[in-house]
Chain A
Amino acid sequence: MEDYDVLVGALSTGLWVTVKITLGAAALAIPLALLAGLGRLSTLRTVRWTAMTYVEVFRGTSALVQLFWFYFVLPLFGVQLPAMLVGIVVLGLNAGAYGAEVVRGAIAGVAPGQREAAVALNMTRTQTIRRIILPQAFPAMLPPAGNLLIELLKNTALVSLITITDLTFRAQLLRSDTLRTTDIFILVLLMYFALALVITAGIRLLERRFKVR
């Protein structure tokens, strides 16, 4: 019981991988969410439908099935990606699809008068979106985005099933080495909880900074 630091040391390499995957997937998901969220509001039908198909497919299927599909089926089409990249790309695509709905909801929440005023001022559509709509929609996106980031963090545990040695995978390895099952899993749960608290705190900070006046 006293040598917890041994377990923590062994788990910390996995923790780092988990953090890297979370950050990588978030870096992919955020632009994707903006793109798909705006795409669903496009005047072009092709853009709208592409965005909708992307969102529905990635929200409608299981994240684990998506991981397996990209890991096992894509190589048969000649696309061979390393496991780490598959993890980041799939989790990023998955979170991006949920994020697109957040973006869409926040944009829909901007008062219609704002858009009308932009039209009246003869602003172009791009200008309207970039300078009027998005800055006002941004604060409304933050709380649900924080929840999604925590979802993403939790989803990274799935990559342990496609052979990536993240925190969960390390826990499994350590379990078969030391048989200290209960200690290990309690530690792992606490580590994920700590990471989630960090995300919550970060979002709180952003929320305070971008508070609508």
Chain B
Amino acid sequence: MTPIFDWSFAFSILPTLGEALIITIQATVLGMALAVTLGLALALLRRSKLFIVSAPAAVFIEFVRSTPLLVQIYFLFYVLPVTGVQMSPLVTGIVALGIHYAAYCAEVYRAGIEAVPRGQIEASTALNLSPFRTAVGVVLPQAIPPVVPALGNYLVAMFKDTPLLSAITVVELLQQSKMIGSATFRYTEPLTLVGIMFLLLSLAAAWGVRRLEHRLARYGGKR
């Protein structure tokens, strides 16, 4: 009879899981890069004075935030090819993660922008700065640093959502462990190891975010 948790088996599958972890991290990093840029664009669109620009942006943000990521992933995976856009499952997954979290990031940026004192914008107007220079030169440099920790929390959240990509055949950490499970009939070790890997990495990331928060608070993060 094999033990409940076979350590030597667990060690033997670590390299395979490590390779899959690289895909998971890749999806997280690229997805987050997309989310922070797209999120900033969405936040600025939402603040536009033109109703035809701000209203669709607001509806888009609300809609994306209140529908399941899994369904959005399926939507992109099955519907995009119909419209003629061909992407690999991994790229589709990264785009889905990026768009989903962009909606969350947009709200974070919005909070940051709204916290910039009005006097700053009034001063820019008095100095005859263009709206673009006001945004890029005055508002955003003050709006973004305080919200970096909040963005960091979404990085951790996105990391924990990457297993959803297994539903569209991306071989990331969870899919790899299921493949090991179905090949060896042992699910305990691969699934437990995946759980532990997620726990350790997200605890480490959460610790990193806290450190960052302290550091930002020290260098003029206060208002």
Contacts and interface: CB of A to CB of B under 8 A. Distances in A.
Interface of A: 56-57, 59-66, 68-69, 72-73, 76-77, 150, 153-158, 160-161, 168, 171-172, 175, 181-182, 185-186, 188-189, 192-193, 196-197, 200
Contacts of B191: 65, 68-69, 72-73
A65 B75 contact: no
A193 B63 contact: yes
Interface stretch (B9-17, B34-42, B160-168): B160-168
Given A61-B198, A188-B71, 8 more contacts: A62-B174, A65-B191, A68-B174, A68-B178, A154-B66, A181-B82, A197-B66, A200-B66
Interface of B: 4, 63, 65-72, 74-75, 78-79, 82, 160-164, 166-167, 174, 178, 181, 187-188, 191-192, 194-195, 198-199, 202-203, 206
A63 B188 CA distance: 17
Contacts of B4: 76-77
Contacts of A175: 78
A85 B192 CA distance: 20
Contact of B181 (A59, A64, A72, A155): A72
A73 B192 contact: yes
A93 B192 CA distance: 17
Contact of A73 (B65, B167, B187): B187
Contacts of B70: 157-158, 160-161, 168
Which has the most chain A C-beta neighbours within 10 Å: B164, B188, B192, B195?
B195
A13 to B, nearest CB: 17
17 contacts: A60-B199, A62-B174, A65-B198, A68-B178, A69-B192, A69-B195, A72-B191, A73-B191, A77-B4, A150-B66, A154-B69, A157-B70, A157-B71, A158-B70, A160-B70, A168-B71, A192-B66
B191 to A, nearest CB: 5
B163 A64 contact: yes
B161 A62 contact: yes
A196 B167 CA distance: 23
Contact of B66 (A72, A171, A196): A196
Given A69-B191, A193-B63, A171 B181 contact: no
